Structure 1
């Protein structure tokens, strides 16, 4: 059996429980309850011959999955990147979310490209330049989220919006242990990592982190 991953490096994903999967574009839930939009950093494909995905006690009850992803998001409350490994069964693409967009019709009365399509068409293959200002690919989506309760104080308590970042380094990711002894794919990682810098207001210092180049796009209007 050949495993085929649904998502790749740099893809935007979130939990299937995200409220914008429902057929409306404004979030009814408290912001504290809304999961972040994340980017795929690594893909792991389990050894399906030795992986147990069904319960030994309850027939046909799935308890695990063959494919999992290391997902990254930026937490504004801590001003740092967070990682979480999640099974494919828990995730959906940002393409399945409903987003409101102010400029749905342009000045000529024609329907403009949807926000989802715009973000999907981002090009992350720009030339590296030390000191270039770049944006995390989820920035515009997180910024454009709309809540039904406009004066909701909870909005101030949690946020996954990101600052702009400055490119401060670049390196190659070692491509090691990518395959099992039988030749099957074991994991997928980024070949090139960019180091980005930002001001960490929580610790009142400048922080840096290496992340896949596909996580970033050149400065866009938000």
Structure 2
């Protein structure tokens, strides 16, 4: 019954995403039209009387977006042939055409809708796409071209609070053709009265918004509390990841992380964490994290430490013993003078003649920072060693 459905994300045909999804926007980024959500459709079953060939008159589409210039929800009518669909996961799930059963999906009574939505946090369906938009600027540094990428949040809608739910008094008005009963108008039966802070007016704004064009803002408070406690306690976790796994000598290693920060990005919660083996910082949405606690922090999962200033008997570095079956965390100064932290295993003390001196002591080991490749560490550059417990060795292997 039409090219678009209520809740579809659309924009004018000149939007860069119609050329390449999630592309970076350069040049005059402010000329980029907003991503909008289909709010209402006036379906045309008539043909153009003045056309040379048979031509169906375009349906009229009411679209909604957030205008950040005045912090307001705005609506505009377009002909369907002026718009293109912005493809994302939500649009993939929506049917191409609205069905006659759409009315049944709105069969809930007002009391049920109030229970479902009142006092909930919501945001326009455009929020994910607008939050992900990036713009790029070009500048020249000496003879090199350089590019700077930053967020482009011009139409990012705010998180709003639903303060009431009402029936759309125009829902049934001219909904069907009196001649054949065909659907003429597709709209929403219920409207949410939403409130948000308006920084332009320095006060609060309110708007009635169809419930089908918003999404609830929710996340796991239980998981968030676990992560907040882990940041304080420095507890480490294994995490399910699609990244290339570390494997060597018939062993596969889990990705082990420590949490660093909780970041609130409008309607989403992102978590900053560090891979303890690669030392790489990453972020992911809270709801995407699949984690298992290792029941302690690295110090608690370690055993003997060098140097140990709490022990009256000081052990010299070159007197340390190295067990090939253990995992060690070492703090090491590399050849460029940088302090690095490595996890190594299958460690063995060997002596080599170098250009600087003869019989220089090295630790030859599999380095987890280098995906288990063999690396040579000059013993004199190892400033700290923590012997990890056998329990840690078991916990980190698949």
TM range (shorter): 0.7 to 0.9
Q: 1:78 aligns with which of 58, 70, 73?
A: 70
Give the match's secondary structure for 2:268: coil
Are 2:113 and 1:131 aligned?
no
| 1:108 alignment partner in structure 2 | none
C-alpha distance in structure 1 between counterparts of 2:49 and 2:199, whole Å: 44
Higher relative contact order (CA 8 A, sep 6+): 1
2:184 is matched with 186
1:94 aligns with 2:94: no
Alignment partner for residue 156 of structure 2, among 138, 154, 161?
Answer: 161
C-alpha distance in structure 1 between counterparts of 2:85 and 2:126, whole Å: 12
**1:46-74 deviation per Cα after TM superposition (whole angstroms, max 9, x unaligned):** 3515x5564xxxx56x8x94311010100
User: In the aligned structure 2, how far is the partner of 1:68 from the partner of 1:119?
Assistant: 19
Task: Write out per-residue CA displacement over residues 17-40 of structure 1, whole angstroms, 9 at most, x where no aligned residue.
Answer: 111222362112422110111111
Q: Tell me which residue corresponds to 1:40.
A: 38
Q: Gaps (5+ residues) in structure 2?
A: 95-105, 107-112, 138-146, 218-266, 270-398
Assess if the C-alpha contact under 8 Å between 2:18 and 2:86 holds in 1.
Answer: no
Which residue in the other structure is 1:213 paired with?
A: 211
**Deviation readout 1:64-103 (Å, 9 max, x if unpaired):** 94311010100111100111101111111111xxxxxxxx
Q: For 1:10-21, what aligned pairs fall within 5 Å after superposition?
A: 10-21=7-18
The structure richer in strand per residue is 2
Q: Is the 8 A contact 1:53 1:65 kept in 2?
A: no
1:20 is paired with a residue whose SS is helix
Which protein is bigger by CA-based radius of gyration?
A: 2
Residue matched to 1:5: 2
| C-alpha contact (below 8 Å) 2:194/2:207 kept by paired residues | yes
Match of 1:98 in 2: none
Q: Counterpart of 2:89 in 1: which secondary structure?
A: helix
Distance 2:186 2:91 in 1: 23
Residue in 1 that maps onto 2:274: none
Give the structure 1 partner of residue 173 of structure 2.
176
CA shift in 2, pair 1:23/1:13, >3 Å: closer
Change in Cα spacing, 1:199 to 1:120, as seen in structure 2 (3 Å) is farther
What secondary structure is seen at the aligned counterpart in 2 of 1:41?
strand
Distance 1:152 1:146, change over 3 A: closer
Secondary structure in 2 matching 1:92: strand
Task: Indicate the SS of the match to 2:116.
Answer: coil
The answer to whether the Cα contact below 8 Å between 2:18 and 2:84 also exists between their aligned partners in 1 is: no
CA distance in 1, matches of 2:167, 2:90: 29
Mean Cα deviation higher: 132-141 or 176-185: 176-185
Contact 1:65 1:89 in 2 (8 A): no
Normalised TM-score (structure 2): 0.43
Instruction: Report the CA distance between 1:203 and its aligned residue.
Output: 1.4
TM-score, normalized by length of structure 1? 0.74
- State the Cα RMSD in Å: 2.9
Task: Count the aligned residue pairs.
Answer: 188
Shift of 1:9: 1.5
Stretches of structure 1 lacking an aligned partner (at least 5 in a row): 96-115
CA distance in 1, matches of 2:268, 2:203: 27
Q: Give the distance between the partners of 1:28 and 1:188, measured in 2 at CA.
A: 37
Evaluate the alpha carbon distance shift between residue 142 and residue 208 of structure 1 in structure 2; reply closer, same or farther with a 3 A threshold. same
Cα deviation for residue 130 of structure 1 reads 2.3
In structure 1, distance between residues paired with 2:209 and 2:50: 31
1:144 alignment counterpart: 132
